[in-house]
Amino acid sequence: MTKPFAITLDVGSSLANLTGSWRTERPVFAHHLPPCNSACPAGENVQGWLYYAEEGNYHMAWQEIMRDNPMPAIMGRCCYHSCERACNRGQLDETVGIHAVERFLGDQAIQHGWTVEKEPDAGLGKVLVVGSGPAGLSAAYHLARLGHKVEVYEAASGAGGLMRYGIPAYRLPRSVLDAEIKRIEDMGVVIHLNSPVRDLRQAMEEGGFKLAFVALGAQKVRWADIPSDGSVPLVDAISFLRTIEEKRTPIKLGKRVAIYGGGNVAIDAARSAVRLGAEEVTIVYRRSKEKMPAHVFEVKEALEESVKLRCLRTVERIENGCLILEERVLTDSNTPLATGHQETMQADSLILALGQLVDTDCCLQGLDGVSIIDGNLHVDRAMKTGREGVYAGGDMVPSERNITVAVGHGKLAARHMDAYLRGTIYTPPAKLPLAIYERLNTWYFADAPQVHQPILSLIRRQSGFEEVLGNLDESNALFEARRCLSCGNCFECDNCYGACPDNAIAKLGPGKGFEVKYDYCKGCGLCATECPCGAIDVVPEEI
């Protein structure tokens, strides 16, 4: 009888190493750009700071935000959540409440007096910043953090630009605004109030500034030529909001207030009129409600506060204490078309909110190389004008006009200006491929609806300028941060380690991720399939 025999295979032998030849594809651990990061105009590493926040390390989370954005308590209240609109979790249940967590972290920093470190004085000369709005403050902060001396010249009596004079206190409490501006000043940035710059070249020469960043906000009113007999007082929305901030007596609004326009400024003016005691506040807008440029949540809150909408209407003239409105209808292509049909609306005052322009008759006039076309200042990718040493950003340059975009402009300009002063060139890092929803394995994530911020009672909203939205508490902020799916980047869940049928995944230690042992990997791709966050690519095998 033949004796049976057995072959014992040592996994370290050359036979075991032959498994690589079976593969046509191999798994590779990779990093992908989270959609929230990609959508943030300020360039925040949203996923990065959420990672620290979900660990309960709020100080480190705040420090990570401060690499890109100097005003998280403000931004958490006033940005328009482009990161959340891009959030992959929105296709699963509800988006992560990124702005609410950012606001929580910003308020923690104010409460505890957190500060950021800055580099030693570079000794490379001073930089002039014209305008203390979000773009100017952002540029000043980043330049100061990089070790440069910065002076900000502001024409108004308070710093903040339209954050102070355009955003009502019910959205942005002035204590928060003042605290985040003071932090920037405490870093050595000097802010000169009541100090308009009328001639940039002269200001730079007299002040000994090597570079300048110009960030004048869009505070010039777009006026409408409405025939009027003078029976209804007119005021522009920016002037109206400014009188409230400066605690000056605004025009007598009366009981019935009309606002002409459909953007966020129109909404702010309407909601402010409610708080000042107007009994009937109506927004007149020339297009449909769906086409209003105001953000949906702003419109929703205004309607809750009894603001009325009369869409598809234009103000044709004013007579005998009334607005004569012309009705419009939508064509098959959704284009508003005048009908010739008119209707009358009684009004005691009319606030115009038809958009803002930048005052191009400014300190840049007469400078060689500066190009202003259609009210916009031309800059290159480095935010540099055609004039050597002069940069610009914010509402002045062609872009979407909002606070987050302005902060991003200031940061980008500061990095290019820093490189210029050091005699180098700043090269932005290359962008990684986007972590799309289809890469995720959402089976691993339980349903967890977004935690919504507390909201002030309606009667208190309608009777004063107290902040409408409240803050998350610590437990809610922690929960909300943990809803992040970590799209495109490994968070060491061990799924690949446990799912691999060949023990080809090796742990490298906490915070170091994993490694594929290709001697044992057959290229089945199970690790990539089971990865919750899509952090493993399957690529063609190298021949």
Q: What is the CA radius of gyration of the chain?
A: 28
pLDDT tops 60 at residue 342: yes
Q: Report strand pairing: 514-516 vs 505-507.
A: antiparallel
CA distance 504 to 63: 37
pLDDT tops 50 at residue 263: yes
pLDDT: which is higher, 463 or 2: 463
* pLDDT confidence of residue 23: 82
pLDDT tops 60 at residue 462: yes
Which residues share a beta bridge with 392?
214
User: Of the ranges 252-261, 273-282, 360-369, 448-457, which one carries the lowest mean pLDDT score?
Assistant: 360-369
- Average pLDDT, integer, range 138-150: 98
| Percent residues over pLDDT 70 in the chain | 95
Alpha carbons within 13 angstroms on the beta-carbon side of residue 191 total 26
pLDDT band at residue 366, thresholds of 50, 70 and 90? confident
* pLDDT confidence of residue 17: 40
Three-state secondary structure call for residue 108: helix
Contacts of 391 (CB under 8 A, 6+ apart): 139, 211, 212, 213, 214, 379, 382, 383, 384, 385, 413, 416, 417
Torsion of CA 231, 299, 272, 191, to 10 degrees: -120
Over residues 210-255, the pLDDT tens digits come to 999 999 988 777 888 899 999 999 999 999 999 999 988 767 899 9
User: Of the ranges 70-74, 375-379, 380-384, 434-438, which one carries the lowest mean pLDDT score?
Assistant: 375-379
Q: What are phi and psi of 143, to 5 degrees?
A: -65, -45
Alpha carbons within 13 angstroms on the beta-carbon side of residue 304 total 15
CA distance 417 to 411: 10
Q: Are 44 and 65 in contact (CB under 8 A)?
A: yes
Q: Are 151 and 190 in contact (CB under 8 A)?
A: yes
Per-chain mean pLDDT for the chain? 92
CA distance 20 to 543: 11
| Percent residues over pLDDT 90 in the chain | 82
- Average pLDDT, integer, range 173-182: 98
Over residues 389-445, the pLDDT tens digits come to 999 999 989 888 899 999 999 999 999 999 999 999 999 999 999 999 999 999 989
Q: Which residue has the tokens 């959508």?
A: 39
Contacts of 110 (CB under 8 A, 6+ apart): 73, 176, 179, 180
Over residues 9-48, the pLDDT tens digits come to 343 333 334 445 578 899 999 999 999 999 999 999 999 9
pLDDT tops 80 at residue 447: yes
Q: Look at residues 431, 444, 430, 429 and name the one whose alpha carbon lies nearest to residue 534.
A: 444
The secondary element (H helix, E strand) that includes residue 192 is strand 190-192
Q: Which two structure tokens, joined as six digits, stand for 27?
A: 């798994």
Three-state secondary structure string covering 351-412:
EECCCEECCCCCCCCCCCCCCEECCEECCCCCCECCCCCEEECHHHCCCCCCHHHHHHHHHH
User: Of the ranges 15-29, 149-163, 488-502, which one carries the lowest mean pLDDT score?
Assistant: 15-29
* pLDDT confidence of residue 20: 53
Over residues 507-534, the pLDDT tens digits come to 999 989 999 999 999 999 999 999 999 9
Instruction: Read off the DSSP letter of residue 28.
Output: E
Q: Report strand pairing: 25-29 vs 536-540.
A: antiparallel
Q: How many CB atoms are located within 10 Å of the residue 149 CB?
A: 18
* pLDDT confidence of residue 372: 81
Q: Look at residues 72, 157, 68 and name the one whose alpha carbon lies nearest to residue 414.
A: 68
Q: Are 349 and 318 in contact (CB under 8 A)?
A: no
The secondary element (H helix, E strand) that includes residue 258 is strand 256-260
pLDDT band at residue 123, thresholds of 50, 70 and 90? very high
pLDDT band at residue 543, thresholds of 50, 70 and 90? low
* pLDDT confidence of residue 9: 35
Q: Which two structure tokens, joined as six digits, stand for 406?
A: 């302005």
Domains of the chain and any CATH numbers = 16-31+489-540 (3.30.70.20), 36-115+443-481 (1.10.1060.10), 126-219+358-422 (3.50.50.60), 227-354 (3.50.50.60)
User: For the chain, what's the residue count?
Assistant: 543
- Average pLDDT, integer, range 532-538: 96
Contacts of 436 (CB under 8 A, 6+ apart): 35, 88, 534
CA distance 477 to 484: 12
